[in-house]
Amino acid sequence: MGVFTDNIKPILKRRDILIRLIVINICVFLALVAINITKLFNIDISNIVLDYIAVPARLDILLTRLWTILTYMFVHENFLHLLFNMLMLYWFGQIFLIYFSPKNLGSIYILGGFAGAALFILSFNTIPLFVSMNNAPMIGASASVMAVVFAAAFYRPDQEVGLLFLGRIKIIYIALFIFVLDFIGVSSLNNPGGHVAHIGGALMGYFYAKQYLKGRDITSWFNKIIDSVVNLTKPKPKKKKMKVKYSKRDTDYSYNQSKHNETEEIDRILDKIKASGYTSLSSEEKKQLFDASNK
CB-based contacts of 205, cutoff 8 Å, min separation 6:
108, 112, 146, 147, 148, 149, 150, 151, 152, 153, 154
Whether the Cβ atoms of residue 133 and residue 194 lie closer than 8 Å to each other: no
The Cα–Cα gap between 85 and 74 comes to 10
Give pLDDT, residue 75: 94
The Cα–Cα gap between 29 and 168 comes to 33
The Cα–Cα gap between 149 and 96 comes to 8
Side chain identity, residue 45: I
Give pLDDT, residue 46: 75
Which band of pLDDT confidence, cut at 50, 70 and 90, is reported for residue 259?
A: low
Cα dihedral 151/155/156/161 (nearest 10): 0
Residue 1 has pLDDT above 80, yes or no: no
Give pLDDT, residue 251: 53
**Mean confidence (pLDDT) of the chain:** 83
Q: Is 160 helix (H, G, I), strand (E, B) or coil?
A: strand
Give pLDDT, residue 122: 95
Residue 161 has pLDDT above 90, yes or no: no
Give pLDDT, residue 255: 56
Whether the Cβ atoms of residue 217 and residue 227 lie closer than 8 Å to each other: no
Strands (E), the chain: 160-163, 167-170
Give pLDDT, residue 10: 56
Give pLDDT, residue 197: 94
Residue 8 has pLDDT above 80, yes or no: no
CA angle 114, 143, 24 (to 5 degrees): 85
Across 257-267, average pLDDT: 73
Q: Map out the domains of the chain as residue ranges.
A: 2-233, 248-293
Residue 117 has pLDDT above 70, yes or no: yes
Residue 112 has pLDDT above 60, yes or no: yes
Q: Is 165 helix (H, G, I), strand (E, B) or coil?
A: coil
Residue 48 has pLDDT above 90, yes or no: no
Across 234-247, average pLDDT: 58
CATH topology of domain 2-233: Rhomboid-like fold (1.20.1540)
Across 166-180, average pLDDT: 90
CB-based contacts of 255, cutoff 8 Å, min separation 6:
none
Q: Is 65 helix (H, G, I), strand (E, B) or coil?
A: coil
The string of pLDDT tens digits covering residues 133-149 is: 878 889 999 999 999 99
Q: Is 134 helix (H, G, I), strand (E, B) or coil?
A: coil
Give pLDDT, residue 111: 96
Across 270-276, average pLDDT: 75
How far CA 138 is from CA of 131, 205, 232, in Å, comes to 14, 20, 31
Burial (CB < 10 A; 0-12, 13-18, 19+), residue 275, is exposed
Residue 238 has pLDDT above 90, yes or no: no
167 - beta bridge partners? 163
Most confidently modeled range among 4-18, 30-44, 166-180, 242-256: 166-180
The Cα–Cα gap between 170 and 45 comes to 45
Which band of pLDDT confidence, cut at 50, 70 and 90, is reported for residue 257?
A: low
Residue 260 has pLDDT above 80, yes or no: no
The string of pLDDT tens digits covering residues 86-100 is: 999 999 999 999 999
Whether the Cβ atoms of residue 74 and residue 29 lie closer than 8 Å to each other: no
